[in-house]
Structure 1
């Protein structure tokens, strides 16, 4: 087992292989990237409390040293959070599963290909080019997912969810108070579930998509850029629209309690086509 107590800006390079990553920091900035080179931990900014880096049986752990009588995470959101601020960048092999926790601050994960869990209490989560199974949860703040694939689950209590340039097979996004905005490629055979209690939902998919669509709002409007998706009678003030786009191989389900839903059609020629060699 190798262990370091980092109390000043420092870069560590690990010669031994890393099979999983676990990060648990209180405050600061966290950036994790998948790479082909050796694992590295770069601490660029540090306040009073040191950062503990441990490597044991392939597991790389980066954490703040905690008080043994810590009364709970919300205790750190006040003045004590400033004692634990650290800006940390970590590079690990792209196929390493990652469990990332940050109480206060922005968290960025990119290039990871296997399994990623990101949890933030107050701040922001940004996912870029991740693959595999990805889960992101935040209490207060936004979640952005760009160019993701695989199975994706996004959840926020108070904040916005943005998903763009995505070909994810399974998407589940939920907000209690906040908007959901999705710009998706053709999710053939995929399943998309979007829900919000207080907020609007905007979805844009390719005009040649293959989707079975069901949209529902309790107190709001539904607009659709696809003539195949039509209104159907709802009870009271509820609105519902459903229909089949293309072959209907994929599923799109969106529900808003207090908010409107907009389904937009993106022209097929709106994106750059890759040239075959």
Structure 2
């Protein structure tokens, strides 16, 4: 039987330490901070990243890893494995998938690049699903096909604490950001496929949390009903690493109270999302959990 390795990138929220514990491999994402390339969880921690992001005198932007970094990791992994399932960030949010797919053409099918439209904890669920399939004897191509078949079976809802970073990235106008700040508007964003989209506008954090929890409930009785009835789903939370720990705990407690019969897991939001929406962000997700 072919020995299959699962490889992802740090947009999954999986740290290098977690990767070793899970038995997977993680490619660190790159960022430009005042023109200098730094790698997530290698050259900079999440806390350090948000400190730089909040400094108005520091320029922070996302950057793709060099192709050689990708292939070097693959080559190292293939020394001890026969095949790779590579799960990068959603093609709707980055060119990482397209680049990886081109690079994989030189690997004679040994590297299967998954385009399953995920990020953060929904992407981590894909990694865990890939492990489940691998452990059941599936090969890399079969795993890729199954993950892509399942790609839209996840929802992530994110509350943005401040409009400053959306304004900085050009996603809203300065006037809209000013009005939103005065009215204490907390946008709720969603990912149910390729891209980050607007979902609702809330007046304050309390209302934003209610909107997100209600959205998950709606998914559970609607598009996810069949999975919920079979117990084939997970609910996860996420947050910006720069958040107040007490606020994060309060959010987790609220999710557990809303879904008392479910095991609730979570990780920090990936820095790619953090770069665009800033600290103070909270998220909740529901995902199909693949079983065999």
Say yes or no: TM over 0.5.
no
Decide which structure has greater strand share. 1
- Higher Cα Rg: structure 1 or 2? 1
- TM-score when normalising by structure 2: 0.25
Which TM-score applies when normalising by structure 1?
A: 0.25
Structure showing the higher helix proportion among its residues: 2
| Higher relative contact order structure (alpha carbons within 8 Å, sequence separation ≥ 6) | 2
